[in-house]
Amino acid sequence: MSFSRMDLEDRKRPEGRNAILIYGYSEEGVQTLKTIMVEAGIDELIYIEQADCNQQIKEIISDKETEAVSSYHEHDDKVIVFNSTSQYEVNTFITKLFKEVDVRPIVAMVTPTSEKWQFSDLVEELKREKEALK
């Protein structure tokens, strides 16, 4: 594994659908995230409903239509996954988010490996990693 220093001002977006995938938020929480998303310059918010958790991430992000959400389910596992966002957008979003909310969500980026996973598997892996850091 190699690490490189992030350029927080880099506005170059990777190829793909510029969006955040969110899971575990109430309707009020979603509205807060939408406001932050717009301020950060991110194009779309994709709300992952419970019924969508078994889809592969690449299927979720390849679906060009963002359907209306039938219900919001808030729970402890709040997750935000960035897809095809610039380092600047991610940094701006996270900085604003941490000023707005008390509970910090699990945050990740879609990678070539994780896009092949079911969303639920990604959430479980992120939870394991978070626990390992405690």
Question: What pLDDT was estimated at residue 2?
Answer: 46
The answer to the question of residue 12 being in a domain is no
Give how many domains the chain has, as a whole number: 1
- Asked, for residue 3, whether it belongs to a domain, the answer is no
CATH number for the domain spanning 59: value is 3.30.429
What number is the average pLDDT over the span 25-33? Answer: 93
Q: How confident is the model at residue 12 (pLDDT cuts 50, 70, 90)?
A: confident
Is residue 14 very low, low, confident or very high in pLDDT (cuts 50, 70, 90)? confident
pLDDT of 108: 94
- Whether residue 125 is contained in a domain is answered as yes
**81 domain-assigned:** yes
Rounded CA-CA distance 13/83 in Å is 9
* Domain range for 24: 19-133
pLDDT beyond 80 at 22: yes
| Per-residue pLDDT at 111 exceeds 70 | yes
Does a structural domain hold residue 4?
Answer: no
Let me know if residue 6 belongs to a domain.
Answer: no
Q: pLDDT (tens digit, 9 = 90+) per residue, 50-102?
A: 888 999 999 999 976 665 566 667 777 899 999 999 999 999 999 999 998 88
| pLDDT on residue 75 | 73
Is residue 93 one of the residues assigned to a domain? yes
Q: What average pLDDT does the chain have?
A: 86
Q: Is residue 13 part of a domain?
A: no
Of residues 36 and 8, more confidence is placed in 36
Task: Kindly report the length of the chain.
Answer: 134
